[in-house]
Amino acid sequence: MSSIDVKIPVPKVFLAPIPAFSDIGKTANDIINKDFYHNAAAALEVKLKAPNGVNFTTKGTSPQGDNPISASVEGKKALDKGTLNLDLFAAYIPFDLMYSLPFVIIFNGTPGRLGHSDAFKRVSLKAFLRSTGISITQSWNTADVLMTKVELANTLANGLKAELTNNFSPSKGSKGQKLSLYFQQPQFHTRAFFDLNAQQALTANVDGVIGYEGFLVGGEAGYDVQKAAITRYSASVGYSTAQYNAAILATNNLSIFSALYYQKVNSAVEAGVKASYDVKSSSTVGIEVASKYKIDPLSFMKAKINDRGIASLAYNTKVNTGFTFGIGASFDTQKLNEAGHKIGASFTFEG
């Protein structure tokens, strides 16, 4: 008598990579906060890629009210192993910083005395790269701050990413430096940020998340080196899958508690809810509920409302391969006959 083996397939549960501490509950936060365009009267973003591989991003925002327009221009280049001729856009480059990087820099010409005329000179350089995973980002904004960031991903160790950022104002001098370290493995994700401000005060912030089969536990702490004191601490727990996730966060020295829940209802509908309570200054629980509906592969709509009766609507569509348009509005449902409602639009061009 022969036997028959019957194998019943067991569905695999998809578990996302361990998120960073600030990303616990990110899907719910994105549903509630992202792609609502009423916060700015108009926002413009232009993304271009040069033939040499440099990605340029220009952003401009016209805020609500009488606040001034803000704008920035950014260039980012991912460097490959070998020899690269890189023509950086007009920005001040901290030369001492570049000499400390894991590649050799040869400059065209000798930089002169730093001033407004020198700060915006175009600098051509040749880089002999010793490793891959390196990128350079430079930006300049309307606050007259020039930012240079060097990223090294999986260069020093597998799973380790390091970022060194220098902020400089041609009119006011150094605005500070920041070293950021990210280390991610299958079961944990940890980060460390060391910030040296313009007054040479050093602060450190460290956070970490460990996970097992979708369960997440994380913590964060901030430390002031000059004062030798802990300045902040937070904690969180969560559970995450591809279809839904939930998280509870205790931030601001465990004085603000938030609960977030996200669910992908089906292929077209997503929903998120957030409840928050401030132990020190609030006697009520703040609640926000939001939903996203995918109209077609190129368009979606979003809606949300909070416990104060503020309702927001948004629509986003990709007109063609190079243009995305978004429009949104916010209404106080308890004061519909009064001024104070907001409307805004977003224009994104890619090429």
Q: What pLDDT, on a 0 to 100 scale, did the predictor assign at position 90?
A: 35
- DSSP letter for each residue of 254-271: TTEEEEEEEEE-SSSEEE
Q: What pLDDT, on a 0 to 100 scale, did the predictor assign at position 345?
A: 95
Task: Report the residue count for the chain.
Answer: 351
Q: What pLDDT, on a 0 to 100 scale, did the predictor assign at position 81?
A: 54
In total, how many domains does the chain have?
Answer: 1
Q: What pLDDT, on a 0 to 100 scale, did the predictor assign at position 143?
A: 84
In a domain, 7, yes or no: no
From 169, 16, 196, select the one nearest 92 (Cα to Cα). Answer: 169
Q: Quick check: 265 and 249 in contact, CB under 8 A?
A: no
From 79, 43, 78, select the one nearest 58 (Cα to Cα). Answer: 43
Q: What b/e sequence results for 168-192 when a residue is b if at least 16 CB atoms lie within 10 Å of its CB, and e otherwise?
A: bebeeeebbbbebebbbeeebbbbe
Q: Taking the mean position of all CA atoms in its chain, how far away is CA 153?
A: 17
Q: What pLDDT, on a 0 to 100 scale, did the predictor assign at position 129?
A: 45
Q: What pLDDT, on a 0 to 100 scale, did the predictor assign at position 158?
A: 87
Q: Quick check: 208 and 198 in contact, CB under 8 A?
A: no
Q: How many CA atoms lie within 13 A of 326 on its CB side?
A: 25
Measure the CA–CA gap between 259 and 248, rounded to whole angstroms.
4
Q: What pLDDT, on a 0 to 100 scale, did the predictor assign at position 336?
A: 82
Q: What pLDDT, on a 0 to 100 scale, did the predictor assign at position 15?
A: 58
Q: What pLDDT, on a 0 to 100 scale, did the predictor assign at position 80?
A: 64
In a domain, 13, yes or no: no
Radius of gyration of the chain (CA): 24
Measure the CA–CA gap between 93 and 23, rounded to whole angstroms.
31
Q: What b/e sequence results for 33-45 when a residue is b if at least 16 CB atoms lie within 10 Å of its CB, and e otherwise?
A: eebbbbebbebbe
In a domain, 174, yes or no: yes
- Which structural domain, as residue segments, surrounds residue 204? 24-350
Q: What pLDDT, on a 0 to 100 scale, did the predictor assign at position 5?
A: 52
* Residue 82 backbone class (left: φ over 0; alpha: ψ -120 to 50; beta: rest): left
Amino acid occupying residue 256: I
In a domain, 6, yes or no: no
Block residue for tokens 């001040």: 92
- 279 C-beta neighbours (distance < 10 Å), count: 12
In a domain, 265, yes or no: yes
In a domain, 14, yes or no: no
In a domain, 109, yes or no: yes
Measure the CA–CA gap between 23 and 83, rounded to whole angstroms.
37
Question: What CATH number does residue 94 fall under?
Answer: 2.40.160.10
In tens digits, the chain (351 residues) has pLDDT values of 444 554 544 444 445 689 999 999 999 999 999 999 998 899 999 999 888 888 999 999 988 877 888 999 999 888 765 444 444 433 334 444 443 444 333 333 333 333 333 333 333 334 444 445 788 898 988 888 899 999 988 877 888 999 999 998 888 888 889 999 999 999 999 999 999 887 788 999 999 999 999 999 999 999 999 899 999 999 999 999 989 999 999 999 999 999 999 999 999 999 999 999 999 887 789 999 999 999 999 999 999 999 999 999 999 999 998 999 999 999 998 888 877 789 999 999 998
In a domain, 19, yes or no: no
